[in-house]
Amino acid sequence: MSRELLASQKNHSGIVLDPRTKLAVLTTIAVFILGGSYEGVMQYYIIVLAAIPLLLLLLAGKWKGAVLYLLIFGGSLCLELFGLSYLTGVANFIAVAIVGLFLRFTPGIVMGYFVVTTTTVSEFVAAMERLHLPQQITIPMSVMFRFFPTVAEEWSAIGDAMRMRGVRFGGGKAGSILEYRMVPMMICSVKIGEELSAAALTRGLGGPVKRTNICKIGFRAQDIVLLLICLGAFAAQVYVWAARG
Amino acid sequence: MIECRDVSFSYPASGPVDGKCLTEGALKHITCTIEDGSFVLLCGASGCGKTTLTRLLNGLIPHYHEGTFTGSVYLDGKDTRELSLFEISQKVGSVFQNPRSQFFNVDTTSELAFGPENHGLPEKAVRERVRRVAEQLKLESLLERSIFSLSGGEKQKIACGSAAAIEPDIYVLDEPSSNLDTYAIADFRKLLMLLKAQGKTIVISEHRLYYLRDLADRVLYMKNGEIRGDYTAEEFQSLPAEQRDQMGLRPLELNSLRNIAAPCDRGGDSEWNIRQFFFAYKHQPETLHIDEAVFPFGGATAIIGHNGAGKSTLSRCLCGLEKRCGGIVRNQDKIYSRRERLKLCYMVMQDVNHQLFTESVLDELFLSMSTEDQAKAEAVLAEMDLLPYRERHPMGLSGGQKQRVAVASAIASERPLIVFDEPTSGLDLFHMRQVAEVVNRVAEHGRTVVVVTHDPEFILRCCNFVIHMEHGEIQESYSLCKPEGREHLLEFFLNDME
């Protein structure tokens, strides 16, 4: 029943990466694959970047995800390279759009999936603290991770009540659906937020001393390799710009 | 040592007030001293100020909850006004009522480490604290677990552990047993014994008194924001049962429930038949497996069993809320599929806030009716003592009133089966009896009521049939109309306590 935004238990399989590395890879993929221009050498480099999530999924033993990713991304890539020229007119237009969407979006989505399923909340908070983000950011972020699963539970309970009371689209009360959803939702969320804050304060959160964190994170060889690859992407992009003049 | 000197407190008025909300939870001229190492039980009806008093002790008043505060509270001679919440958190550990909203981390070990981390202890010391607390309070088996996978009882134990990791001298607990079954309560009681054995000062506000009977050294009885009685354990136990009853307190011993007569003069002319109820959450083992079950039409049936026995799942399947649970429900020659059951049953949820959608109580009833019939709606409201509130916003009402609004809209919906999910958890004697009264009235209307509950007194007051579930299956079902049935029911609850 639980819906979690980040993993709540340590995932012992696969290679151990620092959360900061995972975020760096995610950002790089988002910048160059999702938003990049695919000029010059970059069109080859993005394949290297796209291979990272595949590798990570395989190492973590997530076979189903890896195969699915390989099929979608690899298939789209083959189509773009060899298949699209055979199509004409509207069919070509639609195929180009779909293949383009898949190519640009899947690596980021898969990497995001990897990040959220293998990072625990405490690791994430520790990483933010190491990045020297101020308490004003780290505390609300960590509350958020705790708050969302609880709100998701509330959301589904309200959904149940709506189904049971026959409030649904086409039931004659469709206009009020949003209101029926939001009023109890807001009241429950405010209550939970208040109780959560009170509980945290009685455990000394927000005190004048510097918080410690027992979660061990740090860079290892594999982190450095991945970070270098990310750095390479930025270097290649700069090179492309320089060559263009 | 804790000292309250002439403390008065009232919350700021919120929402529509008719004089009642203003005094709810307010305190008037409280003066008391709590010695080091004593175990103090705060009892009294809902709204008597128990929770407010616990908030004064853990510093949430005046540092978090706003209101008018006069007098002073001293912790070891220091005024809580002059201490910061951070400083108080080193002296006082708190455990709250709702296990869903008092955890900050999503895994148990981080949760235990949370307090010491906040106090800036070195990493090694934090690990040592977590290890020690887990060992002392016997929580080792719960370490490194996801909070979401814990039962309510396990959550409350972790909440205690998390408070204990800061190593405070004082523990303040606000109705910690509200969401627990009798078995989990017995387990939780052992943990309290461990804390007491460590010589800690413990202040606990609670409705269920039986599990604290031989733990408490002192009982403070509160009414309307004042301390009306200050008893030693012996004095409190020697009070006649009738007097405690008049004080609105739950019984000290479950045995005393033997004399309640179950209402048996209704229903039973036909029966409901359930078939092929199987259910498993995704990637989880089966939580419900019922080939066939029968309960009487009309009257009220209680579903009992331990946490995780599948009671809530059964009630959800009965209402057709679980899409992957098919099965049929039959009454005489009428057969209801899952989809049809969405219109057959009406569920009154544990948290009624989830099911009140509209802007006024009257609209709430109209939403349930196929055609808006003002006269009929008002008749139902009158029946539920809600007529004066018909124009009020449901969210502005008290907890008990909200619950009655949900019941009223269930009656207005004219559905034959009404399901209550733990309607009395966290209720005091008066409100519990009120809900029992409501169930009796609904049953007299010819509806069938099904109640998922852990509350033996409530069952005896309004149910005439029991379905006992364990491990997703029906272990037994029996009528409460014969004395043997009632005896059997009490045995189930008494066995759990040992």
Positions of chain B with pLDDT lower than 50, given as ranges:
15-21
Interface test with B, best of A165, A178, A194 (most B CBs within 10 A): A165
Judged against a pLDDT cut of 90, whether residue A196 lies above it is answered with no
**Residues of chain B contacting residue A203, judged by C-beta atoms under 8 Å apart:** 89, 104, 114-115, 118, 162-163, 166
Judged against a pLDDT cut of 60, whether residue A148 lies above it is answered with yes
The answer to whether the CB atoms of A199 and B316 lie below 8 A apart is: no
Please report the pLDDT score of residue B315 as a whole number.
Answer: 92
Are the beta carbons of B162 and B473 closer than 8 angstroms?
Answer: no
- Which secondary structure element, helix H or strand E, spans residue B457, and what is its range? helix B456-462
Please report the pLDDT score of residue B69 as a whole number.
Answer: 94
Give whole-number Cα distances, B136 to B39, B165, B184, B193, in Å: 19, 10, 19, 11
> Closest by alpha carbon to A53, among A6, A116, A108, A123?
A108
Which chain A residue has its CA at the smallest distance from B112's CA? A203
Using a CB–CB cutoff of 8 Å, tell me whether A64 touches chain B: no
Which positions 13-32 of A are in contact with B (Cβ < 8 Å)? none
Q: What is the mean pLDDT of chain A?
A: 84
The average pLDDT across A194-204 equals: 89
Which positions 202-221 of B are in contact with A (Cβ < 8 Å)? none
The answer to whether the CB atoms of A10 and B321 lie below 8 A apart is: no
pLDDT tens digits, residue range B39-89?
999 999 888 889 999 999 999 999 999 899 999 999 999 999 999 999 999
Please report the pLDDT score of residue A1 as a whole number.
Answer: 38
pLDDT tens digits, residue range B230-241?
999 999 999 998
- Determine the residue type at B329: V
CA distance B161 to A51: 45
Tokens 């189509």 found at: A79
The nearest CA of chain A is from the CA of B211 a distance in Å of 25
Taking CB atoms and an 8 Å cut-off, how many pairs form between chains A and B? 184
**Strand, helix or coil for residue B47:** coil
Per DSSP, which regions of B187-225 are E strands?
201-205, 218-223
**Residues of chain A contacting residue B417, judged by C-beta atoms under 8 Å apart:** none
Q: Predicted confidence band at A149 (pLDDT cuts at 50, 70, 90)?
A: confident
**Residues of chain A contacting residue B59, judged by C-beta atoms under 8 Å apart:** 202
The nearest CA of chain A is from the CA of B485 a distance in Å of 33
**Residues of chain B contacting residue A160, judged by C-beta atoms under 8 Å apart:** 316, 321, 347, 349, 354
Which positions 327-346 of B are in contact with A (Cβ < 8 Å)? 342-343, 345-346
Using a CB–CB cutoff of 8 Å, tell me whether A39 touches chain B: no
Query: Rounded to the nearest 10 degrees, how much is the dihedral formed by the CA atoms of B115, B119, B124, B129?
Result: -40
Please report the pLDDT score of residue A175 as a whole number.
Answer: 67
The residue among B362 and A13 whose pLDDT is bigger is B362
